[in-house]
Structure 1
């Protein structure tokens, strides 16, 4: 992906943001480098909203936008050029090159941010920033405000209103552009290939982390330098732990393996879950539970179209799952009774999906004015029903510790949806054939 294309999109987003805000000052910081231990840091990952507007991938930077009645000024604060630090840590743009490269009107050294921000805040009517996201930034902005308020006797006014910029920015990020969809589509293909690799590698006696290593290897091999989140590679009873992350158990013949893993490409996530037998063949009980879960996903996918509410896929999946639980003898009563009492939650206790984009659990409200929001073209969501059978008095032993989740990434388009991860096998026949091959 060419940097210039990213910058063009970022500049357009800055313009769009300014057009939706009343006069004032926008302040959006990125992430800082975090110490892992001693003088070693975790791999740096930018703040998603900052990157969405800037395309700038260095730590300890701040985006500022001054919105006037008829003018908009875009400003970047970033680390100064430092040849000695660059010898140790790598290239830095520095303010001058950053402004030219990333399309800012001006850029300043982060060393000067305190004095510059006091000047920029003078006589601004309001501040827009991610309120209460990080306490250190709440404190910093309060310090700047205090400095401006101290100048009141000189005729200078301080902003008297603080607005959470995410109210507007999250809604912008919720609707993906063609540029973003192209990245998400490619990320879905890369992730599907990694899951196929995992299916073909898996066999009894291996450890979960060995399968995880195959997935990560394929991400890196295809150009994704990081996973979108910590991979879940859960065999046997571990598959009934929704956010299992140890990935250290030895896989046994006859168990299922649930893999929930996603890659990150140019900042954008992919998120796939597949469940398959460690030995390559589903048992009768495993197949019965799997087919119910797959039918639930198909029912949810049918509801993924513009005009339907966010909750429609979840309701459709829940009905299929609840009826399947009754058919298997795991629950008693009619479908209406099971849904009303929510007894199905013994085996299905989470929602059917979430927004996806720069964050794997991406931004955007799920309800508007107290009502489930309508799906619109450009939204990207996951569809991931699950069926988790822990040992219990009402569970026959043959069904114990079967945990299944099936997840795909879906783009809502003008008429229906596009499954961005459809190339990853998910029927029983497709999985068994893939593993045999």
Structure 2
């Protein structure tokens, strides 16, 4: 049974970078009929907030990324204590007392000597008396996992064959001096005990994966299949790190982005597959293959999501937007006609109300100086309502005969005078919906 997980920390709102990880893990489980776990990594009590836990769940539900199980690391602390005790008994866990300043000085010295800035394992030489003295002076130390300094290799779902020399990596800190369990230990314990079979995450975790593979093996677990997707950049290749706050999923939702437009884009971005607009999560899962993603940084432009949203809305039936149409004030007996007219001319659902206001109350006319006389002539020829789908053709034919204007010079000034806009639906369909025709010109 395939089991995957998405493990956000509730220290802020999730953004498009988090979504990429969540979606890939979800689709692997979905495609195989497996289990998808939402795991809240909340071992940091100071930074973790319930409001962010709630927001994560809301964002996931908005996207339709439903989970089979939800877990919270804060409720599993006893499991991490047990794992730490086991590692101590095996001689793979040791206490260290260096301060951040001392560690920084060691790193600088190693770099100056042309050596990799790897922890020198000085704490292993401390006697019990030395440790007792340091605890009395500095408090409890932090605990590191003792790596087996051999090469660590695996076949990555995106990066291919990976091999990392553990001697070039510092023994990872798993427990802080204040007793807080860090992600590396908690993640290994959870993945092992929850039977996680596939882990997809960002390429910035490759070194973590190497150390975690040794930890999983030390604890007697089965190493999952790992895949490390490329990191997102801005459209010019710039780092997204400073912009992620404006790319939170809740902000995109508020801006009117359709979830299936966003998911369709994110499920293909950075892969060898063409972007295709999908209408359901099953469609997306059917064509998903993590092995078709590349390792190069992937450019993401939020502006590309909005045309997809507009296309998606243009393909929707009235039933899918009925609540938005009703909220805009459109009477039930006019809803179908209204939606058929505007559906291909909106960017987001927020535009629906604006179109109904135009039809209901009219728009401020836009008339260029050189068109004032022409528009006045044309409006004098406009027949009394009500209008039907033949009115526009008959009217413009009469205006052409009277003024000699034709083509764009005929139609554009009239569209702008009636709707205040240079673009929009076919005017033969618009005119019957315009309830108010103010004097033009």
- Common fold, TM-score beyond 0.5? no
Structure number having the greater helix percentage: 2
Q: Which has the larger radius of gyration?
A: 2
Name the structure with the higher strand share.
1
TM-score (norm 2): 0.27
After TM superposition, the score normalised by the length of structure 1 is 0.27
